[in-house]
DNA sequence: CTCCGATGGTGCACCGAGTGCCAGGTGCAG
DNA sequence: CTGCACCTGGCACTCGGTGCACCATCGGAG
């Protein structure tokens, strides 16, 4: 069943066929029940462990902090993303690749829409959770930026472009994701995200240099310019690519 | 004296000529002395108030949390930025305007380089401070995005573009800022930031127009340039191909 | 000068998150 | 059975943060 496998994924570990739901899951379930019915800050860790029927000490064994119980799957997702980026083929177009990496996060959210929507409502209200979410998102962004920095190494403004593109990708992804969450997680999230990421790709994607097949890869640069963008902008791009003449 | 006025600015209030340094400043000074010499987490609020010679309760009168003492001036700076954006002339180019708004933050950092560098080293090491800084930066980003959303209202993908551009501006600004901080705050920060923001402007600047699927291949021109050809020659070629001056 | 209210600093008791430490239980290999 | 590793629970403690009541100072009104 979908909800069961989604819960298992939330767990970050396979569910054993032999019942006995692991303590981690019980804690997440208990926590969310209390969070939605009486609020995050009004719920103490003691309340959670009492409802889950476990010792207080065990809570912090599974979750380093109270906030972590709200994001039980991000650690796993972040690892997936770094793996995905590390496994990139050499010839992959970098911007497209980070956009695909961002889609991994979307997939995680889409796997359990009701859970994601609940969490969204929580994080929107509680400042502490918002701050925590920011630090999570920041780690995704750094993973994307690290990959791009590697791909842009040697290029002038390589790290700058990497940071900016990573931020743009994350912002576009989050814009679409939040719009989907605000709608209650009903429609298709991926089309909206595709559109948003498309905008970023059109702004940063093909325009900067692709090396031609025949030539020595270092001494030729190909610029694709749209006729409707002003000439000075094309020249600016050229300067950036060529490293100031 | 420069350091004195910088400290006053850090205070967010004018320093009175008649001595009696305000408690806020004393707390910031005491806190930073302890933070740099024994670390942030190793310093308790009790240590700070003991060194400053005030009561523990007073600390939390001036700073809502221990983290806030590290960023004593951001609240003020954020207010300045929103004022700046609210006072934008109607005809201002939106992207340029948010770039200028970002420069306000840089100015704040540049006003007291040694303080900024110390704080940078702190936030780089301490995860809790990093998280706090993220939430501060997030508020700047939301201020920029809110302005852009207003300017892009009605445009297709208006909020999406607003969010992406705001994120890109913040990322570019932070990239340059951090590079300057890493250097010890010695050189000129503004030139680096200008260059970084220029890249964002060149990517998102004036010509938003028809993005993505609207343009067919007739609207695109491909230029192949050899790196050893001087830039002006390439530009000359471009002008010829595009048929405009 | 006295009274008075406002402002601002302080002490105190208290809550809740998070940690270190140790004890008990349970499954497993020797 | 015994030792061992591992998971769990309880206890005590630290520290950040808050509500409340108390007190000092100060400026103005009578």
pLDDT in tens, chain B (245 residues): 444 455 555 544 433 333 345 889 999 999 999 999 999 999 999 999 999 999 999 999 999 999 999 999 999 999 999 999 999 998 899 999 999 999 999 999 999 999 999 999 999 999 999 999 999 999 999 999 999 999 999 999 999 999 999 999 999 999 999 999 999 989 899 999 999 999 999 998 764 333 334 344 344 555 555 555 556 555 555 554 454 43
Q: Let me know how long chain B is.
A: 245
| Percentage above 90 pLDDT, chain B | 71
Nearest CB to B222: which of A132, A220, A222? A222
CATH number of the domain that B138 lies in? Answer: 1.10.357.10
- B202 with A164: Cβ contact below 8 A: no
Which pLDDT score is estimated for A215? 38
Any atom of strand D under 7 A from CB of B188? no
Distances (CA, A) of B60 to B20, B49, B54, B86: 20, 10, 11, 32
Alpha carbon distance A103, A105 (integer Å)? 5
**pLDDT, tens digit, 9 for 90 and up, residues B155-165:** 999 999 999 99
pLDDT of A54 strictly over 70: yes
Distances (CA, A) of A74 to A83, A104, B108: 14, 11, 35
Which pLDDT score is estimated for B16? 37
Domain for residue B20, yes or no? no
List the domain range (segments joined by +) for residue A136.
73-218
In chain A, the residue whose alpha carbon lies closest to the alpha carbon of B216 is A226
The tokens for B20 are 């009696």
User: What are the residues whose beta carbons fall under 8 Å from the beta carbon of B55, sequence distance 6 or more?
Assistant: B49
pLDDT of A118 strictly over 80: yes
Chain A interface includes B243 (CB < 8 A): no
Do A223 and A211 touch, CB atoms closer than 8 A?
no
In chain B, the residue whose alpha carbon lies closest to the alpha carbon of A136 is B131
Domain for residue A33, yes or no? no
Alpha carbon distance B99, B87 (integer Å)? 15
Task: Provide the pLDDT confidence category of residue A19 given band limits of 50, 70 and 90.
Answer: very low
| Domain total in chain B | 1
Q: Give which of B178, B21, B12 is closest to B79, Cα–Cα.
A: B12
Domain for residue B57, yes or no? no
For B16 and C4, how far is CA from C1' in angstroms?
28
State the Cα angle at B70 between B67 and B73, rounded to 5°. Answer: 115
Which pLDDT score is estimated for A216? 41
Domain for residue A185, yes or no? yes
User: What are the residues whose beta carbons fall under 8 Å from the beta carbon of B201, sequence distance 6 or more?
Assistant: B95, B96, B99
Any atom of strand D under 7 A from CB of B58? no
Task: Provide the pLDDT confidence category of residue A196 given band limits of 50, 70 and 90.
Answer: very high
- A171 with B175: Cβ contact below 8 A: no
Q: Give which of A210, A224, A214 is closest to A96, Cα–Cα.
A: A210
Domain for residue B59, yes or no? no
Which pLDDT score is estimated for A17? 35
Alpha carbon distance B123, B129 (integer Å)? 5
Any atom of strand D under 7 A from CB of B46? yes
Distances (CA, A) of A157 to A117, A161, B195: 39, 6, 10
Domain for residue A153, yes or no? yes
Domain for residue A35, yes or no? no
Mean pLDDT rounded to a whole number for chain B: 83
pLDDT of A1 strictly over 50: no
Domain for residue B8, yes or no? no
Q: Give which of B211, B175, B110, B43 is closest to A161, Cα–Cα.
A: B175
């Amino acid at each position: 069943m979908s909800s069961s496998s989604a819960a298992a994924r939330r767990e970050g570990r396979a569910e054993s066929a032999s019942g006995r739901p692991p303590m981690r899951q019980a804690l997440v379930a208990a926590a969310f029940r209390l969070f939605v019915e009486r609020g995050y800050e009004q719920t103490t860790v003691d309340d959670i462990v009492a409802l889950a029927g476990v010792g207080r000490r065990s809570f912090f064994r599974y979750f380093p902090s109270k906030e972590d119980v709200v994001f039980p799957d991000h650690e796993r997702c972040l690892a997936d993303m770094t793996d995905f980026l590390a496994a990139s083929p050499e010839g992959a177009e970098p911007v497209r690749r980070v956009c695909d990496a961002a889609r991994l996060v979307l997939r995680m959210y889409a796997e359990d829409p009701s859970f994601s929507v609940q969490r969204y409502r929580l994080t929107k209200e509680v400042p502490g959770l918002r701050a925590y979410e920011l630090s999570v998102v920041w780690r995704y962004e750094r993973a994307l930026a690290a990959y791009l920095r590697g791909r842009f190494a040697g290029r002038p403004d390589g790290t700058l472009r990497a940071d900016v593109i990573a931020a743009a990708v994350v912002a576009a992804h989050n814009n679409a994701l939040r719009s989907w969450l605000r709608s209650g997680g009903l429609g298709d999230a991926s089309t909206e995200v595709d559109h948003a990421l498309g905008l970023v790709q059109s702004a940063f994607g093909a325009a900067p240099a692709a090396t031609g097949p025949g030539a020595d890869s270092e001494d030729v640069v190909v610029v694709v310019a749209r006729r409707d963008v002003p000439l000075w902008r094309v020249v600016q791009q050229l300067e950036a690519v060529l490293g100031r003449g």
